[in-house]
Structure 1
Amino acid sequence: MSKNARLSLVIIAVVAVVVAGFLLFTRNDTTAAPQSAGGGVTVVEYLDLECPSCRAAHPGVERLKTEYGERVTFDVRHFPIPSHRNAELAAVAVEAAGAGGKRDDMIRLMFDAQQEWGGQQTSQRAVFAGFAQQLGLDAAAFEKALDDPALRERVLAQRAEGSKAGVTGTPTFFINGTKFTGAPSYDALKKAIERELS
């Protein structure tokens, strides 16, 4: 191999290493700023099912989901606040309902009845099992899922991810990776979404 050929190979190798390093360090870090994986608009909401402010925001979010359809992706992630005695179990119950295709329905039931179970200092497991029954989920499978360490770990991983992204309270929204500031009213969220769509 000639000296020039060897030099060319070395230069190509160095360029490849530099490009790979650049790509590695400039890639999107979804744990730091949750955002869209595709080209559309993604709204990520960190919520606590026992939080009254999350319950208040929920109807507006549901209305936005209906209005935008497939144009906007809404992604709910859990951020159970430790001082809320049943928030973590409620999040696990939502994930357990998700196995039966009823995740969104369970969230709706949780918020509809939040004033009855929220703020209680005793476990509301029986209440959540009752919600599963209302949704027609398999009772034994749901009970088993409530004790599944993998579901609890999923919830805690989402909370850790939220903390890393700067979530300190609920609800916290990210629209295409940008943290939404201000009160998350229907109108304010719609305005932020429209900015991203335009």
Structure 2
Amino acid sequence: MSKNARLSLVIVGVVAVVVAGFLLFGRNDTTAAPQSAGGKVTVVEYLDLECPSCGAAHPGVERLKSEYGERVTFDVRHFPIPSHRNSELAAVAVEAAGAQGKRDDMFRMMFDAQQEWAGQQTSQRAVFTGFAQELGLDAAAFEKALDDPALRERVLAQRSEGAKAGVQATPTFFVNGTKFTGAPSYDNLKAAIEKVLP
């Protein structure tokens, strides 16, 4: 092989690596904080189910969901903080409920009862199983899902995505890919949405 041919191959290889890098990192950024699609606004929230600030923000977020309907997409993602003993299991429980079509209902139940289970240093698995029963979920399927490594990996992947996007505390919101920096009150979030709403 001639020197020029080898040089051409090296150049092609470098270009391929650079393009792959752009695609990979571009995809991660989009996954962490998606832009609006089809003229809609997307609000991504990273939360920890044991976090009191997340619990305080939840009613406002629910109100915004109700008010905006299909005009705004709300994408809730997990960011369990390691120092919170039960936050990771709570996130898995939400995803386990989601497998039976009750993800949003389990989120609401977790926050409604947050003061009863959060901050405990013992496993709250029995509490979460009780929530599943109240929601009418298949108990055996829910228990099996709680132990599913794939659900735990999904939760941890969301936390990793959040960290890459700059999440350092919960709740953290992104409105059309831009990190929201104000206090996460109903009024402040509504103002941020209105700024970008078509």
> Same fold judged by TM-score > 0.5?
yes
Counting only pairs closer than 5 Å after superposition, residues 1-198 of structure 1 correspond to structure 2 as 29-31=29-31, 33-198=33-198
- Percent of pairs identical after alignment? 85
Supply the AA of the counterpart residue of 1:197.
L
Aligned residues: 181
User: What do the CA deviations read for 1:116-138 (whole angstroms, capped 9, x no partner)?
Assistant: 10000000000000000000000
- 1:73 aligned counterpart, secondary structure: strand
- Kept after mapping to 2: 8 A contact 1:31/1:164: no
- CA distance in 2 between counterparts of 1:152 and 1:35 reads 26
Unaligned 5+ residue runs, structure 2? 1-14
- CA distance in 1 between counterparts of 2:138 and 2:149 reads 19
- 2:43 aligned counterpart, secondary structure: strand
RMSD over aligned Cα, in angstroms?
2.1
- 1:75 aligned counterpart, secondary structure: strand
Displacement, 1:182? 1.2
- CA distance in 1 between counterparts of 2:185 and 2:170 reads 13
- Kept after mapping to 1: 8 A contact 2:50/2:118: yes
- Kept after mapping to 2: 8 A contact 1:40/1:72: yes
Q: In the alignment, what sits opposite 1:14?
A: none
- 2:30 aligned counterpart, secondary structure: coil
- CA distance in 1 between counterparts of 2:37 and 2:154 reads 20
User: Which of the pair has more CA radius of gyration?
Assistant: 1
Supply the AA of the counterpart residue of 1:159.
R
- CA distance in 1 between counterparts of 2:44 and 2:165 reads 11
User: What do the CA deviations read for 1:124-159 (whole angstroms, capped 9, x no partner)?
Assistant: 000000000000000000000000000000000000
Unaligned 5+ residue runs, structure 1? 1-16
- 1:46 aligned counterpart, secondary structure: strand
- CA distance in 2 between counterparts of 1:73 and 1:183 reads 20
TM-score (structure 2 length as normaliser): 0.86
- CA distance in 2 between counterparts of 1:145 and 1:39 reads 36
Supply the AA of the counterpart residue of 1:56.
A
- Kept after mapping to 2: 8 A contact 1:41/1:73: yes
- CA distance in 2 between counterparts of 1:27 and 1:159 reads 18
- Kept after mapping to 2: 8 A contact 1:174/1:180: yes
Supply the AA of the counterpart residue of 1:85.
R
